[in-house]
Amino acid sequence: MDSNLLKGNLELILLGILEEGEMYGLEISKATNARTDGLFAVSVGSLYPALHKLEAAGFVSSVERTPPRGGAKVRYYQMTKEGGKLLEAKRKQYLTFDSAMKKFVEKEAGS
């Protein structure tokens, strides 16, 4: 998978995951990898800047607390109402892009 493709859609991926409910970094990474059958191998390290960016912009909120497994506290992220709007907008944007790209891909494949 081209890392640039992944990077360009990281916000969509993260919000899509957080739509299911609050999670902390490690869980988000696992959920991403699981949902895409390992195609998107998102390192936990690369998730944090993206999560913090979304939080700074008000699209997710976070709270620090001890996870059920115990041990050191982690930061749980959840999508805000504004994040939900962004997710919808990003989805529409992606589908429009995808629809346009398919025309090239299908033409290429058919030729």
Partner 1 sequence: MKGDALERYIRQATRGLYGEKRARVVRELRGNLEGRINEFLAFGDSRERAVERALLEFGAAGVVSRGMREVHVMPILNKWTVAAGMLGIMAFLSLSATASGVKFTLDAPVPVCEHTSVGTLKANPCAIRGTSWLELDSLLEVLKSQGVRVEREAKTGLATQVQLFFPGQTNPVVVKTLNEESAQYPASFELTRFQRSDKLYISTSQFLQALETFPLTLTVSSLKNPKLNIAGVKLELGDRANLVNIQVALERWVIGRALFSPAYSPKANSGTLESPQAGGPFSPFRVFFPVSGDVRDTQVQPRPITLKLSKNSEHFYLLMTKIATLEKGKIVPTLGLELLERQPNNTLISRSYLLNGKFVRDINALYNDDDQGTGLLWAINLEKPDNLLDTKNPIVLRSSDISY
Strand order in the sheet with 23-24: 23-24, 74-79, 60-65
Going by C-alpha positions, the residue among 99, 90, 69, 68 that lies closest to residue 18 is: 90
Closest CA to 47 of 30, 59, 64: 30
Least distance between partner 1 and beta carbon 86 (Å): 6
Least Å distance, CB 70 to partner 1, is 9
Interacting residue ranges for partner 1, rule: CB under 8 A: 7, 11, 24-26, 29, 43-46, 48-50, 52-54, 56-57, 59, 64, 67, 69, 71-75, 82, 85-86, 89-90, 93
Instruction: Give the number of other CB atoms < 10 A from CB of residue 19.
Output: 12
Helix count and strand count (H, E) for the chain: 5, 3
Q: Closest CB to partner 1 among 19 and 48?
A: 48
Cβ nearer to partner 1, comparing 63 with 105: 63
Q: Rank residues 35 and 74 by Cβ distance to partner 1 and give the closer one.
A: 74
In the complex with partner 1, the residue whose CB is nearer, 36 or 74, is 74
Nearest approach, Cβ of 52 to partner 1 (angstroms)?
4
8 Å CB contact between 47 and 54: no
